[in-house]
Amino acid sequence: MTSNYRIIQSTTDFLKENGITSPEILVILGSGQNNCFRNFNLIKSLKYSDIPHFPTSTVKGHKGELQYGSIENKNVLIMNGRFHLYEGYSAKDIAIPIQISKLLGVKILIVTNAAGGINRYFKTGDIIIINDHINLTGQNPLIGPNIEDIGERFTVMNNLYTIEYRNKLVNIAASLGIKVMQGVYAGLLGPNLETGAELTMLKTIGADLVGMSTVAEVVAAKHANMEIVGLSIVTNSEFPGKASDTSHDKVIDVASKAVPNLMKLIEEFIKSI
Ligand code: HPA
């Protein structure tokens, strides 16, 4: 047993003692995307800073609040604000909330993010269902002793973003009249934006989206044998050979405009499973 596992266990116990007893789904919301589900019945809200050993969000647009509640008959845990490698957190730190969720009983992870669009068919404000990812962060939450109580040593990456759920989302989006497409998300370390040459590389290796989050969380969730859903909001369009000049304010602004549709989609998805 590693010290990391003791931390995870003690924080799990703390959350149970505070009424977060049986979440089935964990939702991690990205930049400018704090919880605005219409039919969320809040049971308990905790600031990250009040949770022992929980990382805290340092980025503008990330609220830093854990909410537990229900959507219809599903118990949902929502992270309003996430942790990034570029804030100085390790991939293992980023995995902590996912591993705690696993011990609490979570079986499904839904992650959202703001991303740069590389695929030329993706426009600013589009919602994209992530169908695979490329981990270019050079980091991995699973290094070091394996936590056997969470998952196996060697994690397979097949059907990483559950195909059945992607198909479901496509159908739900059509019924709601929301445009969605699918694409590959490349996760980079950041915090600098991409050079022109890096964008050329990303396009060449098959990335449709680029961002600075998600991959460490998803690797940790797959290790924990969760089903995974990933959704990106395209906040800026990028082109091979031309360095990105987007700003965080623009990312937050565009993301927040697409949030109502994103929330509708996730809510209907949760109701449907
Ligand atoms: N690059 C990296 N991260 C991002 C971007 C981008 O263009 N847009 C939003 N997050």
**The pLDDT value given to residue 30:** 87
Whose Cα sits closest to atom 6 in ligand 1? 116
Cβ < 6 Å from ligand 1: which residues? 114-116, 193-194, 210-212, 235-236, 238, 244, 246, 251
Q: Where are the domains of the chain?
A: 3-272
**The whole model's pTM is what?**
0.95
Q: How many angstroms is it from 29 CA to the middle of ligand 1?
A: 15
Q: How many angstroms is it from 68 CA to the middle of ligand 1?
A: 29
Which of the following CATH numbers is that of domain 3-272: 3.30.70.1230, 3.40.50.1580, 3.30.450.40, 3.40.630.30? Answer: 3.40.50.1580
Q: Is 117 exposed, middle or buried (0-12, 13-18, 19+ CB in 10 A)?
A: buried
CA-to-CA separations, 160 to 38, 121, 164, 224, in angstroms, rounded: 29, 24, 11, 12
Would you give per-residue pLDDT tens digits along the chain (273 residues)? 345 888 999 999 999 999 999 999 999 998 777 778 888 999 999 999 999 988 877 776 668 899 999 999 999 999 998 999 999 999 999 999 999 999 999 999 999 999 999 999 999 999 999 999 999 999 999 999 999 999 999 999 999 999 999 999 999 999 999 999 999 999 999 999 999 999 999 999 999 999 999 999 999 999 999 999 999 999 999 999 999 999 988 888 888 889 999 999 999 999 999
Q: Give the active site residues.
A: 31, 62, 84, 86-87, 114, 212-213, 236, 248
Say how far apart CA 218 and CA 215 lie, in whole Å. Answer: 5
**The pLDDT value given to residue 250:** 87
**The pLDDT value given to residue 1:** 37
Q: How many angstroms is it from 144 CA to the middle of ligand 1?
A: 29
**The pLDDT value given to residue 61:** 62
**The pLDDT value given to residue 56:** 79
Say how far apart CA 75 and CA 68 lie, in whole Å. Answer: 7
**The pLDDT value given to residue 255:** 86
Instruction: Please count the CA atoms within 13 angstroms of the CA of 183 that sit on its side-chain side.
Output: 30
Using most ligand atoms within 8 A of CB, pick from 130, 194, 201, 248 the residue to mutate for ligand 1. 194
